[in-house]
Amino acid sequence: MKIKAFLTAVSAAAMLAAGGAAAEQVKIGIAAEPYPPFASPDSAGNWVGWEIEVIEAVCAAAELDCVITPVAWDGIIPSLTGQQIDAIMASMSITEERLKTIDFSDAYYNTPAVIVADKSIDIEPTPESLAGKIIGIQASTIHQAYAQEYFKDAELKVYQTQDEANQDLFAGRIDATQADSIAMADFVNSDNGSCCEIKGAVADDPAILGRGVGAGVRKGDTELLEALNKGIAAILADGTHEKITEGYFTTSIY
């Protein structure tokens, strides 16, 4: 009887160990640089924001044990391909160029790229209007790629974070900046951004600006990709995505 009890205990322990292996954590990479209202650390150092809540909801729906893992934006794709993280959910647009290196889930939000400038300056979001102007752009983004292609007659000033570009716009050191419309709406409604306004959306170019924002995974990681797609579809279908969005924005961003 004692031998039987011992073997039963060993078998149970093995099953628990197997279950633990199955519940291995999935490291979700986000940009270490604050990007409100999508993701930024609060006073206690906890990451909060629309995208953080979406990550948590997607992982819960997909039954994934996820852990938020901040990574410097300009090294986030190498961190994924180098297996330091398992997926990227950091407002990364799905572009043909990035699809050469990683795979993407279905889109979980999509907003236009806009030009923001001081209210007193008459600027339109066109190459002709921005010629000769100084435009602040965040490094390694679709906005940098777009500005380099379309605003060749402007002077481009590249920043590591969008917040740095916003600060220089407020200080008058640049004439305009290009970024995501939702992020810039948050800026122009802040005290520092009260100087400025959204001048309009740039002309769409899906090849550069992408097909919305998705979760990036390593090439061939179909199991995780399918799980994330399942989670995204679930929160869109049951209203969770809309409920989270209502806490941050006045309109749909999907």
Q: Mind giving me the DSSP string for 55-115? A: HHHHHHHTT--EEEEEE-GGGHHHHHHTTS-SEE-SS-B--HHHHTTEEE---SB---EEE
Q: Which tens digits make up the pLDDT trace of 27-68?
A: 999 999 999 999 999 999 999 999 999 999 999 999 999 999
Residues 184-189 have a mean pLDDT of 92
The residue segments making up the domain with residue 71 are 26-110+211-246
Task: Give me 182's structure tokens.
Answer: 């939702």
Q: Are residues 81 and 168 located together in one domain of the fold?
A: no
**Greatest CA span in the chain, whole angstroms?**
88
Domain contains 239: yes
**Distance of alpha carbon 208 from alpha carbon 120, whole angstroms:** 30
Q: Are residues 188 and 169 located together in one domain of the fold?
A: yes
Q: Is the pLDDT of residue 224 over 50?
A: yes
Task: Give me 10's structure tokens.
Answer: 């060993």
CATH of the domain at 124: 3.40.190.10
Q: Are residues 35 and 147 located together in one domain of the fold?
A: no
Q: Are residues 193 and 227 located together in one domain of the fold?
A: no
Strand, helix or coil at 149? helix
Q: Are residues 106 and 117 located together in one domain of the fold?
A: no
Among 35, 67, 55, 44, which residue's Cα sits nearest to residue 179?
35
Domain contains 230: yes
Q: Please give the pLDDT value at position 23.
A: 58
**Distance of alpha carbon 106 from alpha carbon 62, whole angstroms:** 14
Q: Are residues 32 and 86 located together in one domain of the fold?
A: yes
**Distance of alpha carbon 35 from alpha carbon 85, whole angstroms:** 19
What is the tally of structural domains in the chain?
A: 2
Q: Are residues 179 and 223 located together in one domain of the fold?
A: no
Q: Are residues 100 and 137 located together in one domain of the fold?
A: no
Q: Are residues 105 and 133 located together in one domain of the fold?
A: no
Predicted TM-score (pTM) of the model is: 0.78
φ and ψ at residue 50, rounded to 5 degrees: -55, -50
